[in-house]
Amino acid sequence: MTAALRARIDRRCAAGPFVIAIDGPAASGKGTIARRIAAALNLDHLDTGALYRAVGAAVLEAGGDPADEETAVAAARAIDAARLDPATLRTDAIGEAASKVAAIPAVRAALLAYQKSFAAAPPGGRGAVIDGRDIATVIAPEAPVKIFVTADPAIRAHRRYLELKDSRLGLTEAAVLADLEARDRRDSGRSVAPLRQAADARLLDTSRLDIDAAVAAALAIVEAVLD
């Protein structure tokens, strides 16, 4: 299926970049799905959450408060997206800081232009898979493929717990669940670009899917949209 799907996307790219917008809450699997389908379809990938995590990390490293607008905006304006290393930004503390800076309108404005530019002109020229929380609603509302990835909160908490338990002694699933639910409330309740499923986005619930099945389901959605 993948080779045929790449060929169909090639034909669509003749009219402009082919963009797949993927949104969803933390630990739903959207980032891994986005990376995997970008690789399978030979498209560029942008993890927009990494931009906000980098801002949050920069504020924390400077000893600042991620909720402080002046500090967070200064960090956002100084961000160098080309030097992002998502592997170093996936700690729980940075994720929490990212959620706080993302709720600041001026931070979002500082990063908005870069994200829109990436969607309009991906580095590779063919297209892009972009994941985050407001891709289909704000960054690339005209994307031909929009997927909202979700999962039951308890399952998301279990996944995140397995990621973190070896590096955080004493961590409990209950604590991880409480943190995720707090982030969900903050992300969904913010006044600017809240987390929500776009009206024309396809829902992908990964609660009972392993990653291979989730990626296959996402590719099936892409193929269905192209039919």
- The predicted pLDDT at position 82 comes to 67
Comparing CA positions, the residue from 218, 225, 227 lying closest to residue 40 is: 218
pLDDT of residue 203: 98
Helix (H) or strand (E) run with residue 224 in it: helix 211-226
pTM of the model: 0.86
- pLDDT tens profile 44-59: 999 988 899 999 999 9
Structural domains of the chain ordered from first start: 17-220 (3.40.50.300)
CB atoms closer than 10 angstroms to residue 190:
18
Q: b/e map of 148-159 (b: 16 or more CB within 10 Å)? A: bbbbebebbbbb
Burial-class residue 84 by CB neighbours within 10 Å (0-12, 13-18, 19+): middle
